[in-house]
Structure 1
Amino acid sequence: MNGTVVDLLAGNARHAEQFADRFDDVQDAQHPAAVTVCCSDSRVLQDRMWGNEQPGHLFTVGNIGNRVVQRGEGGEEVSDDVLYPIAHTGTGTAVVVGHTGCGAVTGTYQALADDRTEPDGIEHCLSLLAPHLEAGVAALPDGLDAAEAVNRLVEYNVDQQVASLVESERVPGAVDVVGTVYDFQDVYGGQRGEIHVVNVDGERRVDALRDDHPEIEDRIGRIWEY
């Protein structure tokens, strides 16, 4: 057997031993407190970033670029994998999690800048991001290097995904929508792996967010207020 699979199964054995008694209350149903929409980048630890070790607590959705949208018959709409816990399990909080150095944002930025092409499947995903990032690319300040530009667009992409949820008729108005960035590149000045809140229900002004949410004031911050 492939050695990587052997190692994965050994890790799963440790997991099963630790978690065996934690499924009693969720074997037949789930009622997660939040749905998190994260990038599927291997450096983004979807449950561990929240310290979560409880099955049933988080409904985790992963894709490249932490997208909340898909193409439907009538055009772009909220993705069904994001909508499912909101519609069927009573989940009242949605958290969009971007991350520093995002490859999907980088690829979309490059495609918008110089018409870079990708294999069809990747191109499909980037084409869902591109319409949301195009105005952000145009608004970038002059003189940024590529990494600085990408990390500003990471925030911009989170803002756009939050807006897609807030403005969608498919998402009840009572659902709280929070936009965040997971930082492992020392961009935000905190510890590596910290999550920084950049948007709440469409509000992205740092001063306003800190006034509205003083209990998490030290976790609110942006690198780009456009």
Structure 2
Amino acid sequence: MNTTVVELLEGNARHARAFADRFDDVQDAQRPDAVTVCCSDSRVLQDEMWGNDEPGRVFTAGNIGNRVVQRTDEGEAVSGDVLYPLAHTGTDTAVVVGHTGCGAVTATYGKLTDGLSEPAGIDHCLDLLAPSIEPGLAALPDGLDDEAAVNHLVEYNVDRQVAFLLESDEVPDGVDVVGGVYDFQDVYDGGRGEVHVINVDGERRVDALRDAHPEVDGRIDRLWEY
């Protein structure tokens, strides 16, 4: 057996021992408190970032670029893996989480500015992401290097994904939509691994967010108010 798979199974055995008695209440149904839409980057630990060890609490959706959009025969729609818990399990909170140094945003930035080419499957994902990033290019502050530009566009992309959910008729009324950035590169003030809230139901202004949510005002921050 592949050594990596052996190691994964060893880790799973530890997981199974630790979690054996934690599935009793979710045997037949789930009612997660939140759906999180995170980048599938291996450095983004989707449950661990929340300290979550409770099965059934968080419905996790992951893809490159933390996208909430998919293309259908009828046009763009909310991705089914995001919409399902909102439409069917009573989940009333959606959290879109980008991350510093995002490879998907970097690649899309390269595609839009330098014509970067990727294999068809990756290119398809970048094409889905591009409409959420391209308008931000012209608005970027002057003098940014590529690394800083990408981190600004990470925020811009999160904002656009949040907006898509808020504007969609498919998302039930009353769903709270929050956007954040997971930082493991010391880009924001705070500890590595912290999620910084940058958007709540479309509000992006840091001062307004801190006034509205004083219980987490230390976790509200942005690189870019535009």
Please say whether Structure 1 and Structure 2 have the same fold, judged by a TM-score greater than 0.5: yes
For 1:83, give the aligned amino acid: L
Asked if structure 2 preserves the Cα contact closer than 8 Å seen for 1:166 and 1:173, the reply is: no
Root-mean-square deviation (Å): 0.5
Asked if structure 2 preserves the Cα contact closer than 8 Å seen for 1:31 and 1:56, the reply is: yes
Work out whether 1:101 is the aligned partner of 2:101: yes
> Whole-Å Cα distance in 1 between the matches of residues 158 and 131 of structure 2?
13
Which residue of 2 is the match for residue 181 of structure 1?
181
Q: Deviations over 1:97-125 (max 9, x none)?
A: 00000000000001000111110000000
> Whole-Å Cα distance in 1 between the matches of residues 74 and 133 of structure 2?
21
Which residue of 1 is the match for residue 31 of structure 2?
31
Which residue of 1 is the match for residue 73 of structure 2?
73
Q: State the shift of 1:173 in Å.
A: 2.3
For 1:52, give the aligned amino acid: N
Aligned ranges for residues 15-164 of structure 1 at < 5 Å? 15-164=15-164
For 1:185, give the aligned amino acid: Q
TM-score, normalization by structure 2: 0.99
Identical aligned residues as a percent: 75
Q: Deviations over 1:177-207 (max 9, x none)?
A: 0000000010111000000000001010101
> Whole-Å Cα distance in 1 between the matches of residues 8 and 202 of structure 2?
40
Q: Secondary structure at the match of 1:25?
A: helix
Q: State the shift of 1:137 in Å.
A: 1.0
> Whole-Å Cα distance in 2 between the matches of residues 58 and 67 of structure 1?
17
Work out whether 1:2 is the aligned partner of 2:2: yes
Work out whether 1:171 is the aligned partner of 2:132: no
For 1:57, give the aligned amino acid: R
For 1:11, give the aligned amino acid: G
TM-score, normalization by structure 1: 0.99
Which residue of 1 is the match for residue 209 of structure 2?
209
For 2:199, give the aligned amino acid: N
Work out whether 1:14 is the aligned partner of 2:14: yes
> Whole-Å Cα distance in 2 between the matches of residues 142 and 185 of structure 1?
22
Q: Deviations over 1:131-181 (max 9, x none)?
A: 111110111112111110000000000000000000000001200000000
> Whole-Å Cα distance in 1 between the matches of residues 173 and 106 of structure 2?
32
Q: State the shift of 1:3 in Å.
A: 0.2
Q: State the shift of 1:214 in Å.
A: 0.8
* Ranges in structure 1 where 5+ consecutive residues have no aligned partner: none
Asked if structure 2 preserves the Cα contact closer than 8 Å seen for 1:101 and 1:147, the reply is: yes
Q: Deviations over 1:6-35 (max 9, x none)?
A: 000000000000000000000110000000
For 1:15, give the aligned amino acid: H
For 1:147, give the aligned amino acid: E
Q: State the shift of 1:75 in Å.
A: 1.1
> Whole-Å Cα distance in 1 between the matches of residues 45 and 170 of structure 2?
28
Paired residues, what number?
Answer: 226
> Whole-Å Cα distance in 2 between the matches of residues 141 and 189 of structure 1?
20
Q: Deviations over 1:59-91 (max 9, x none)?
A: 000000000000011211100110000111000
> Whole-Å Cα distance in 1 between the matches of residues 106 and 57 of structure 2?
31
> Whole-Å Cα distance in 1 between the matches of residues 167 and 212 of structure 2?
21
For 2:202, give the aligned amino acid: G
Q: Secondary structure at the match of 1:28?
A: coil
Q: Deviations over 1:33-66 (max 9, x none)?
A: 0000000000000000000000000000000000
